[in-house]
Structure 1
Amino acid sequence: MTALLDFARALEFAAHKHIDQRRKGVRAEPYLNHLSEVAFLCAEATAGNDPVVVIAALLHDTLEDTDASYEEIEQHFGAEVAGVVAETTDDKRLRKAERKQRQIDAAPTASSRAKLVKLADKVSNLRSMAHSPPADWPLERKIEYFEWAHAVVAGLRGTDARLESLFDRAYEDGLAELRGEAV
């Protein structure tokens, strides 16, 4: 029962912290939709047996996109969850190109839990980019995003075959859809 209560508390925390945020895509979905998809993918990957990774998936963007602090996450959800969230957080003080390269470089040495969250995040992001891309992104930028995500996931391989297959499908289908957009 504790895991279920912890999950509900994490869902409420994430919903509150991301309350005014929307996805960048043309549909401008509530940001919580992305967090719930990432958590769902992680829950499936672990057959529901690792609440730490599922809760971290719900919270994976709170440090970089909200006013939440590491200490706050640790206090509410414990050191294990806070550690996974920290591992999946970009340092917004760095330039975008450096942040993106750090994700590529850090992927192979991340913890298994952080790898699951990152992999699920990339699946969700590619699906979103294919079906609801930012309106102001030219085709070249969208394709560059797909290629960068592919480079990150290369360092996550061996984590979960099913998630990797979902990523590969999202990558291939998304690129095909984007290339069809150029016609």
Structure 2
Amino acid sequence: MTPNPLADLMRCVQFAAHKHKDQRRKEPSKPPFINHPINVATILAVEANIDDKEVLQAALLHDTVEDTDTTFEEIETAFGKNVADIVREVTDDKSLPKLERKQLQIEHAKTSSTKAKLVKLADKLDNLRDLQIVLPEGWPQERGEEFFVWAKKVVDNLRGTNEILESKLDEIFRHKNLLQ
């Protein structure tokens, strides 16, 4: 029997859904958190025409280590070293203070692998699209504006990776008057 090329991707969706099953996004409507990683993978596949299975899997898993009890070893065992390495590149070290983590994202963006950069671009695009609609609960308008400014700094260090995603992000930055 020929292996199903979508089987690994669907196992990954199921894994991420299980890991994020009790989490909600911070928007007032409290949508399920799993919508975000699915959106990130969908942005890559549908909008950016990315068909690299490892990139799509990493997109689905990009928040599992950061936000759940998942380990990099668990991801490597289930989905391989390459996927685990991409997830490792896009995962913040939650033991560090928030401002340091944000600065490290800006700095690491330049030297990340192309596959990690794709996940980061799609992640930023999904988060900024959500922020254009509604702020997370407890966020004053100023914090939302600061997020856009910070996200642009990260994206600027990811440039040259994917013209489609960068163009969509630039539309958002232009709307926020962050582009000249």
TM-score (norm 1): 0.91
Is the CA contact (8 Å cut-off) linking 1:126 and 1:171 kept in structure 2? Answer: no
Query: How far apart, in 2, do the equivalents of 1:113 and 1:171 lie?
Result: 23
**Counterpart in 2 of 1:8?**
10
Query: How far apart, in 2, do the equivalents of 1:35 and 1:5 lie?
Result: 18
**Counterpart in 2 of 1:21?**
23
After TM superposition, what 4+ stretches of structure 1 lie above 4 angstroms from structure 2?
none
Among the aligned pairs, what percent are the same residue? 51
Query: How far apart, in 1, do the equivalents of 2:5 and 2:88 lie?
Result: 20
Which of 117, 120, 124 pairs up with 1:118? 120
Residue 76 of structure 1 aligns to a residue whose secondary structure is helix
Once the two structures are superposed, the pairs formed by residues 122-137 of structure 1 within 5 Å of their partners are 122-137=124-139
RMSD: 1.4
Cα deviation digits, residues 21-41 of structure 1 (max 9, x gap): 111112211111111110011
Q: 1:133 Cα shift? A: 1.2
Which of 31, 34, 37 pairs up with 2:33? 31
Residue 31 of structure 1 aligns to a residue whose secondary structure is coil
Query: How far apart, in 2, do the equivalents of 1:152 and 1:96 lie?
Result: 15
Residue 3 of structure 1 aligns to a residue whose secondary structure is coil
**Counterpart in 1 of 2:51?**
49
Query: How far apart, in 2, do the equivalents of 1:6 and 1:46 lie?
Result: 20
Q: Which runs of 5+ in 2 are unaligned?
A: none
Is the CA contact (8 Å cut-off) linking 1:45 and 1:160 kept in structure 2? Answer: no
Structure with greater helix share of residues: 1
Residue 5 of structure 2 aligns to a residue whose secondary structure is helix
Query: How far apart, in 2, do the equivalents of 1:7 and 1:40 lie?
Result: 12
Q: Which moved more, 1:40-49 or 1:154-163?
A: 40-49
Once the two structures are superposed, the pairs formed by residues 156-167 of structure 1 within 5 Å of their partners are 156-167=158-169
Cα deviation digits, residues 80-101 of structure 1 (max 9, x gap): 0000000000000000000000
**Counterpart in 2 of 1:77?**
79
**Counterpart in 1 of 2:174?**
172
Query: How far apart, in 1, do the equivalents of 2:5 and 2:89 lie?
Result: 21
Is the CA contact (8 Å cut-off) linking 2:135 and 2:141 kept in structure 1? Answer: no
